[in-house]
Chains A and B, each alone.
Chain A
Amino acid sequence: GEDVEQSLFLSVREGDSSVINCTYTDSSSTYLYWYKQEPGAGLQLLTYIFSNMDMKQDQRLTVLLNKKDKHLSLRIADTQTGDSAIYFCAERDSWGKLQFGAGTQVVVTP
């Protein structure tokens, strides 16, 4: 099974906040990432957090990291239709290898 786990689907109304959750297993992870993938496209780096931080904010995005529980979340404020995509959580080990979750499909409804 996956070392990184995410819920598969999230539906959110336009203007509301979205919260995507992720759990990981490698306590020695250096960085944790959130990527966005639109249909037929590659991976767009949204944000990342160093493992010794517990929060990072970047405009509408807020990342929370709970190292004790190995839990990572991404909050998108004021969700827009353009935020509809698949979101991947990934952990990076000390060698630089990324381990991805299966992705969370976010659907934004009017």
Chain B
Amino acid sequence: ETGVTQSPTHLIKTRGQQVTLRCSSQSGHNTVSWYQQALGQGPQFIFQYYREEENGRGNFPPRFSGLQFPNYSSELNVNALELDDSALYLCASSLALAGTGELFFGEGSRLTVL
């Protein structure tokens, strides 16, 4: 049990739709990052938020956007869904940007785009 919770656990969307995924960080953690894990691959960094500001972004288009709230929970939004967006989306929380080694992941949200 990492204390990082994600919702929903599974969802199915169609091409062109929009999706919002949610993450609740471990208590006390002020940094959250999102990763996309396609089938059979390692997770790929999407972006990171620190104290409600985006603080680093991977190679993902602008239709991937996010928010971090004052209670440090977070959302990942994906617009204009494409088939290749089908993946496991993982949220990770940590204390500060890289101050300690502990970086915990949630169980993920599995998105299927038809």
A binds B: yes
By a CB distance below 8 angstroms, the chain A residues around B97 are 94-96
CB-based contact B56/A95 at 8 Å:
yes
B2 at interface by CB-CB < 8 Å: yes
Interface size class of A (residues with CB under 8 A): 20 to 34
Find residues 57-100 in chain A having any chain B CB closer than 8 Å to their own CB.
88, 90, 92-100
CB-based contact B33/A103 at 8 Å:
no
CA gap between A103 and B42 in the complex, in Å: 6
Q: Mark B53-82, 1 if CB is under 8 A from A, else 0.
A: 001101000000000000000000000000
A1 at interface by CB-CB < 8 Å: no
User: When A96-B56, A98-B35 are in contact, do A42 and B98 touch as well, CB less than 8 Å?
Assistant: no
CB-based contact B48/A100 at 8 Å:
no
Q: Mark A10-50, 1 if CB is under 8 A from B, else 0.
A: 00000000000000000000110101000001111100111
By a CB distance below 8 angstroms, the chain A residues around B44 are 100
Which among A50, A95, A100 is the interface contact of B101 at CB below 8 angstroms?
A50
By a CB distance below 8 angstroms, the chain B residues around A107 are none
CA gap between A31 and B31 in the complex, in Å: 16
Query: Number of residue pairs across A and B with beta carbons under 8 Å?
Result: 78
User: When A45-B103, A45-B105, A92-B98 are in contact, do A97 and B42 touch as well, CB less than 8 Å?
Assistant: no
CB-based contact B104/A45 at 8 Å:
yes
By a CB distance below 8 angstroms, the chain B residues around A43 are 43, 90, 92, 105
By a CB distance below 8 angstroms, the chain A residues around B31 are 96
User: When A42-B108, A43-B43, A45-B2 are in contact, do A31 and B48 touch as well, CB less than 8 Å?
Assistant: no
By a CB distance below 8 angstroms, the chain B residues around A95 are 48, 55-56, 97-98
Q: Which residue of A lies closest to B43 (CB)?
A: A100
CA gap between A4 and B43 in the complex, in Å: 12
Listed from nearest, the 10 A-B pairs whose CB atoms lie closest are: A100-B42, A42-B107, A43-B105, A48-B101, A96-B97, A96-B98, A42-B108, A31-B101, A95-B56, A102-B42
Interface pairs (7), CB distance under 8 Å:
A4-B42, A43-B92, A45-B104, A48-B101, A93-B98, A95-B55, A96-B48
